[in-house]
């Protein structure tokens, strides 16, 4: 049997074909936002160290007013001296030092009898009274026997040390130093003017001179104010120079004329002329004049005077020395 072909009709809507997928397009570039800036580092706060304590300032302790004994070893020898420290207002140091040198065979403290301390009270100066080793100063004069055989005594070194120690222990102004000497001490004072001119502003030479030929080796670092007081009839240390009287069995050597010493120190101060110095008629005083230096130079030739520390009415040595030394120390800047 023949099957008849038939058409099948289907009602309804057929689904539309899916649209064609378009070709892929490049995606837009995505730029990442900038990273936020890092927060600033916070510096750790280290606490400051506490301030350093002030340095330990030690206030020097000086000797009180009164009489004090000292000793020091110089070139193997024990040397001694006494200081008299003046009373001073609290916190005020003494204004200077006056060293007083005794004659042969004496002791330092015996020179307190000169009476200089009361006159100097207003200036508040320390007075120092040293003892010579063996009783005599090595003042450099030629022809003198050693007091202690075989021992060479360095008195210049001792006195330099005395100045340093006294200034350190009392607070005294070491720029204002004077040396006053009698007899052997006077000749030692002359040597001090030569050898310690850097430390000493003034010397007073009483009943003495300087070692014979001193001018050949005396080279002071600066001019020194020098006063000489000597008797015209002195037979122990002759005014005209020459041989000094023996001390027991000891020969005491030779000294220069007092006038030569006066002329030498005038030249050091650049004094062109001389003129009379105030004083009694018996004193025959002269002083250097028209000088380039402020270091005054004066000499008193005591008419008929012998070997002594002259007292009124012949001549007031104490008053004259203090007037001279006090003015010089006061003028030191």
Residue 103 confidence (pLDDT): 97
Residue 29 confidence (pLDDT): 54
Residue 47 confidence (pLDDT): 63
Q: Give CA–CA dist 234/314, Å, rounded.
A: 14
CATH code where residue 228 lies = 3.40.50.1820
Q: At what angle do helices 184-195 and 155-170 cross, to 10 degrees?
A: 80
Whether residue 167 contacts residue 189, with contact meaning beta carbons closer than 8 Å, is answered with: no
Whether 57 is covered by a domain: the verdict is no
The H or E element spanning position 69 is strand 66-74
A 10 A CB-CB count for 77 gives 16
Whether 6 is covered by a domain: the verdict is no
Q: What is the mean pLDDT of each run of 10 residues along the chain (333 residues)?
A: 37 45 49 56 60 64 94 96 91 91 97 96 95 96 91 96 97 96 98 98 98 96 97 98 94 97 98 95 95 96 97 96 96 87
Residue 52 confidence (pLDDT): 67
Residue 5 confidence (pLDDT): 39
A 10 A CB-CB count for 263 gives 17
pLDDT tens for 79-128 read 999 999 998 887 688 999 999 999 999 999 999 999 999 999 999 999 99
Whether 242 is covered by a domain: the verdict is yes
Whether 264 is covered by a domain: the verdict is yes
Range of the domain at 202: 66-331
Whether residue 234 contacts residue 255, with contact meaning beta carbons closer than 8 Å, is answered with: no
Q: Give 117-145 as a DSSP string.
A: HHHHGGG-EEEEEEPPGGGS-----TTBP
Strand blocks (E) in 220-260: 225-231, 242-243, 254-255
- Nearest alpha carbon to residue 198 among 170, 169, 177: 177
Whether residue 230 contacts residue 239, with contact meaning beta carbons closer than 8 Å, is answered with: yes
Whether residue 146 contacts residue 77, with contact meaning beta carbons closer than 8 Å, is answered with: no
Whether 164 is covered by a domain: the verdict is yes
Residue 35 confidence (pLDDT): 57
Predicted TM-score of the model (pTM): 0.82
Number of domains comprising the chain: 1
Whether 23 is covered by a domain: the verdict is no
**Distant-in-sequence, close-in-space partners of 2: CB < 8 Å, separation ≥ 6:** none
Residue 333 confidence (pLDDT): 79
Whether 33 is covered by a domain: the verdict is no
Whether 58 is covered by a domain: the verdict is no
């Amino acid at each position: 049997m023949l099957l008849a072909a038939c058409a099948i009709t289907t009602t309804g809507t057929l689904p539309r074909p899916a649209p064609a997928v378009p070709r892929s397009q490049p995606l837009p570039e995505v730029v990442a936002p900038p990273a936020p800036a890092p927060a600033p580092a916070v510096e750790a706060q280290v606490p400051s160290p506490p301030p350093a304590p002030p340095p330990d300032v030690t206030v020097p302790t000086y000797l009180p007013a009164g009489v004090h004994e000292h000793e020091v070893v110089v070139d193997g020898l024990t040397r001694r001296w006494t200081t008299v420290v003046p009373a001073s207002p609290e916190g005020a140091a003494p204004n200077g030092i006056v060293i007083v040198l005794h004659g042969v065979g004496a002791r330092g403290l015996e020179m307190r009898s000169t009476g200089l301390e009361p006159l100097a009270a207003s200036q508040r100066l320390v007075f120092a009274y040293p003892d010579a080793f063996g009783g005599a100063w090595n003042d450099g004069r030629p022809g003198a026997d050693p007091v202690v055989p075989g021992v060479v005594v360095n008195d210049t070194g001792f006195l330099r040390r005395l100045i340093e120690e006294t200034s350190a222990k009392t607070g005294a102004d070491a720029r204002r130093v004077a040396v006053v000497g009698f007899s052997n001490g006077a000749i030692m004072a002359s040597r001090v003017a030569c050898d310690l001119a850097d430390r000493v502003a003034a010397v007073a030479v009483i009943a003495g001179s300087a070692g014979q030929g001193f001018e050949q080796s005396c080279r002071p670092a600066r001019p020194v104010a020098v006063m000489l007081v000597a008797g015209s009839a002195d037979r122990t240390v002759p005014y005209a120079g020459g041989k000094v009287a023996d001390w027991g069995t000891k020969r005491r050597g030779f000294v220069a004329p007092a006038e030569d010493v006066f002329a030498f120190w005038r030249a050091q101060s650049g004094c062109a002329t001389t003129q009379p110095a105030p004083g009694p008629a018996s004193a025959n005083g002269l002083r250097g004049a028209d000088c380039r230096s402020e270091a005054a130079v004066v000499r008193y030739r005591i008419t008929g005077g012998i070997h002594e520390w002259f007292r009124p009415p012949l001549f007031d040595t104490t008053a004259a020395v203090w007037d001279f030394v006090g003015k010089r120390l006061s003028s030191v800047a």
